[in-house]
Structure 1
Amino acid sequence: MGKPDGPIKLEEGWAMMEVDTNIYNMCTQKLPYDHSEQLYARYRTSLQNYIEECVVPSLKDLKGVSLLRTLCRRWQNHTLMVRWMSRIFSYLDRYYVQRHNLNSMNEVGLLVWKEVVHEVIKSRVTDAILELVERERDGEAVDCPLLKNSLATYQEVGMGLLDAYEKDFEAALLQTTAKYYKRKSAGWLETYSTPEFLSMAEACLKAEENRVDAYLHVSTRTKLLSTTETELLKEHSLSLLEKEGSGCAALLRDGKKEDLARMFRLFGRIPKGLEPMAAIFKDFVESEGMSHVRAATEAAVSKQAKEKDAGKAGKDGAAAPEHQFIRVAIDLHDTYSDYVVSYFGSASLFHKALKEAFETFCNKQIGRATVAEAMASFCDSLLRKGSTSEKLTDDEVESLLDRVVKLLAYVSDKDLFAEFYRTKLSKRLLGTHMASEELEKGVLIRLKQQCGTQFTSRMEGMVHDLAHAKDKMEEFVRWQKKRGVTLPVELNATVLTVGFWPTFKKIEPTLPEEMLMAMNQFTQFHEAINNGSRRLTWHHTHGNVLVRATYDKTYELVVTPTQATILALFNDATSLKYVEIQEATNIDSDDLERTLASLVFAKHKLLSKEPMGRTINSTDTFAYNAGFKDRMRRIRVALPPLEDRRKVKEDVGKDRVHIIQATIVRIMKSRRVMKHQELLVEVVGQTQKMFAADVKLVKKQIESLIEREFLERDEKDTAMYKYVA
């Protein structure tokens, strides 16, 4: 039955009304004249006879495209015929079908087609469709509307369900898809590099998505893509990632960012596909970092050997190789953080890999220095006035400092960094070597944001002391005027809070009378304003004295109090023996030798020594060096730096003992009873933000607390601890 070419003519309309009326009359009579059941049965029989006689023979010997085209034409005619027949027998649908819970007239038409046509030719139709799909995959143009219409028969005979589509076609499609891409990928793997393979795989996945949009049912998308991903990616993931010369490590080495981004996108499509990629990323970054650690260590050892051979003392803190390592580590972090954010989708898996890699090599030793010490020294070189050979703007310095603080997140011994940084900060503040107060405060803000308030509290106290020093000196000047006191020398004292600053070595030289008078006046002032509640202790290790000295011309010498004390002796004598200087100044041998060396051997040789030599001996004689000359009028005479690395580490070690003990007590006080292993894990976990606690040290402190009766062992179980209230 064909589709009408135009509107139904009047005669046809009357004929249809007459048929409709006859059907109505046949179905509304009382038994035995109600023919609804017979009409319903004859309707099905008529459709079946028509299909068996006209449709099935026309499809019998056809294959391929011819089969699909004939099928689509016959299906179109059938659906049109069923639609019209359903209208004619609509009364049956409205009453008889509903009353007896039967299939509708339209459903009967679909069922008959499914039983007589679909079940007979479905395998041939599926083969024909799959043949066209494979030809399309191989680049041949195919009739997509024909494929879409052919597949519509699978979907419509399901009457709202996809059973026929999934069972009779989709299962075969997925099977042939797996075989097709298994064959293709095996050849590609042998022929192409990883980026080329992945580029083709991405194109295939896009083509399959387009295929679904063009003629497949939308429910097939996930299954089809999953099958394709499995054969192209999952089955070859390790081979592709580890392929020599073009795998993940090679792409990282060569900086192939777009290829890495594609690799991330594609392997992110398969379950756990990114885990091996993240592992390779971690190993690569760690390996690169460790290579720089080894290079910096070799350079540092070589530099130390050269200094030892030349008889020169190294500078305080980490030397140039360690600084260079920090620069390299900063650049590495910038580079690979950008990889994670820009090309790896900020995936937590890659953030974790980056963190673990940096934690590995950022906690190694660089020569004699740890990375924590090197970082503190590097910050000092940026913040110390005139200490870097590079001409950096404030913005560049601020950027470097910001990146160093970010790098600190990977350092386990943050407390060691804090102590080294605090020691160097004290020297910058007291020695007036601070390049910028704003930069100093900016670093403390960043450190506080990353490590917490407790981390920077003492450093902030140091800056606070310096900020109030000027106000205190102005108050001292007013106090002097009020009392009518005039000092023989100008004094500028800085009062420090003991708890904030590092401990300074105690040196008590016999100072010149003028200096002592000024110090005594300030001591009286301090006791007066504090009502004697705060004791003042003078430290001469970090102070500066401005001394006028006459050689070929008058110079202003910026020296320490101990240097000034020794130089003052030569106002009344042209030469003095070592023993005479020691008796007059009351300075111990180590500090005296260090101070004399700064006046005899350094760049500015203010004194001369007999006999000549590179060491200071107790039998030497020292004299005013009348031949001293310098083009500058103001000269800063620096003391040889003290080796404070050991002292800082000792101080940190003591602090760790106190922190571990306090942590143990705090945990046990809240838990009351706890097993040994659980306590160890808890203590290590709570202290790891500041340092990596040594398990042996934790055990030792547990024993110490047991001896001091803070804890006790359970009588029945020695691995159980109890808190003693």
Structure 2
Amino acid sequence: MAGQERRTIDLEEGWAFMQKGITKLKNILEGKPEPQFSSEDYMMLYTTIYNMCTQKPPHDYSQQLYDKYRESFEEYITSMVLPSLRDKHDEFMLRELVKRWSNHKIMVRWLSRFFFYLDRYFISRRSLIPLEQVGLTCFRDLIYQEIKGQVKGAVIALIDKEREGEQIDRALLKNVLGIFVEIGLGSMECYENDFEDFLLKDTTDYYSLKAQSWILEDSCPDYMIKAEECLKKEKERVGHYLHISSEQKLLEVKCVEVFKEFYQTRTKHRKLTWIYSLGTCNINAKFEAKTIELIVTTYQAALLLLFNGSDRLTYSEIVTQLNLSDDDVVRLLHSLSCAKYKILNKEPANRSISPNDVFEFNSKFTDRMRRIKIPLPPVDEKKKVVEDVDKDRRYAIDASIVRIMKSRKVMGHQQLVAECVEQLSRMFKPDFKAIKKRIEDLITRDYLEREKDNANVYRYLA
């Protein structure tokens, strides 16, 4: 059965609708009274992007939407973020920077979801920069380049205060320097250029190193053993030997670089890649009963270290600070709060992780062993790929059904399924049972309803 031609959405009309969603997100981030996004809000924004990207030329606006995605971040940064940072100085400016970076990552995550179809198909075919990276690069190019000098000065001022015996906000400094590690998008270039030279300029001053060692403790992967071996071997080349103790983890970043140089002198045909998810760390955790050495992955360690600066953290706060996928964070939190070793207490105290959970460090934890290894639950990679594909297809089927029903208002079951199959056939071959299941789900979510006199006829609920 031939499908009815859907109405063409022009660029101005479609983008005006998207801007309403973007404005709503900005209001939420700015703390203005604004209700959270509902599932219907998300569906309509996602569907609008889908429609504008799948219209026949010249009405396929994929490239224009890609450009406008970047422009949205640039406009928000120049009109809202930069003015708020320029108005503040010293420690107040650092606090504002930490807040703005956290908000920016939330904005990147949400807009990437709205533009998901663009990211998955248009960008992959054109080999363009992914949406998430575009959003983070805007922050680096527009904010980092302008304020990095002020941030360096404020950081140095706080470090000098501590050297003089004053109490300072260590968590704030960790968060600020963590930004400059993250802003490099996977490399340490930004951090090294703006902070490392200062922090390491007097490598013979043990007390200076000890006083600053905690700054990088949360930001760098734990490759101390390998790095120390490489530093020993490179003693003659660098002209001096830097002693690395458990107190001096400031040198971890430098160790990674030295190991990289060392590796490159041994082979010219292989590329060295650091896979942080496979790293391990040994953490001395101080509980009320005793100190226990925890053997954990690098990501588990990063999560636990968040509780050095906070007594309680929500699921969303943990996701924001770790900047990992939801699936990865769920695995980490499950291993630390729901498995054999409950290092974290969870509210509510059940065995599943949900976005509404709250976590706190379990100071009363104890074990007969003084050294325990905390495993991660296994991941079936093949199953995960299948689940990801199924999830993508569910979104596409939902969007197709809503789009058809919004246009036709009332429609029979067979006709709806036929038109849905026709629309989706250029992406994948949809299963009839899957379409029926998605229709039932949309009914329970009040997108559709059955006619009272005929259960095989559906009515769209605006």
**TM-score, length of structure 2 as denominator length:** 0.40
More helix as a share of residues: 1
- Greater relative CO (CA pairs within 8 A, separation 6+): 2
Bigger CA radius of gyration: 1
